[in-house]
Amino acid sequence: MAKRLFDVICALAGLIALAPLLLIVSLWIKCDSAGPVLFRQERVGRFGRPFDIHKFRTMRVDAPSLGPQITIGADPRITRIGRFLRATKLDELPQLWDVLRGAMSLVGPRPEVPRYVALYPAEVRDVVLSVRPGITDLASIEYRDEASLLAQSTDPERTYVELVMPAKLVYAQRYVASRSFWGDVSLILKTLRAILN
């Protein structure tokens, strides 16, 4: 209950305080490329319930038909502003709305698309999906440069499924087992520090 209250207060305060920045980014996206400001994608949430995650659009509108769901290196589908938004993590800000509506938390395992969740071992899936997915977690910090890592692979999809995803699931299970209010605060501060650096 305390975690949910913390999420609601922080998400609401964040949306209000960042409203001018959200407006500027929205206008910048509209001026940079054709298409909607927001990108919506189905992800798997708590207890396996699907939900639509919201991000600022960083790719061309036809991106899904031009390549894989994972982003690899200097992906040509990414727009000019999209590169900046991804580097600064500003593309994640609309997820404050997902937190406010209860689909996500500020801190928790990052939500995956259904096709990758289907590959989770059953016992791992039950643990990871027992909590709300988050905007940030330790795996997000450790694998912040995931796209560059995958770009070095001759088979990025296989590398993600066999190496990156299992490592992220280990972090997710650790979070579920040891989560606490102050642990969440610590992860939020670590995330801000990583972005500023």
When pLDDT is cut at 50, 70 and 90, the band that residue 197 belongs to is confident
Task: State how far the Cα of 18 lies from the Cα of 28, in Å rounded to an integer.
Answer: 15
Q: What is the tens place of the pLDDT at every residue in 115-129?
A: 999 999 999 999 999
Closest CA to 125 of 51, 47, 49, 53: 47
Q: What is the tens place of the pLDDT at every residue in 61-115?
A: 877 666 666 776 677 888 999 989 988 889 999 999 999 999 999 999 999 999 9
Task: State how far the Cα of 164 lies from the Cα of 152, in Å rounded to an integer.
Answer: 13
**HSE, side-chain direction, 13 A CA sphere, residue 49:** 10
| Domain range annotation of the chain | 2-196
What is the average pLDDT value for the chain, to the nearest integer?
91
Beta bridge partners of 42: 52
The CA-atom distances, in angstroms, between 191 and each of 34, 58, 60, 99 are 31, 20, 27, 17
DSSP state of 78: B
Is a pLDDT exceeding 70 seen at residue 174?
yes
- What's the CA angle centered on 128, arms 187 and 119, to 5 degrees? 125
pLDDT, position 73: 63
77: left (phi over 0), alpha (psi -120 to 50) or beta: alpha
DSSP state of 109: P
Q: What is the tens place of the pLDDT at every residue in 14-35?
A: 999 999 999 999 999 999 888 9
Is a pLDDT exceeding 90 seen at residue 195?
no
pLDDT, position 170: 96
Residues 24-51: what's their mean pLDDT? 95
Q: What is the token pair recorded at 81?
A: 């502003």
Question: CB–CB of 50/70 below 8 Å?
Answer: no
The CA-atom distances, in angstroms, between 118 and each of 95, 126, 161, 170 are 23, 12, 11, 16
193 vs 148, higher pLDDT: 193
pLDDT, position 157: 87
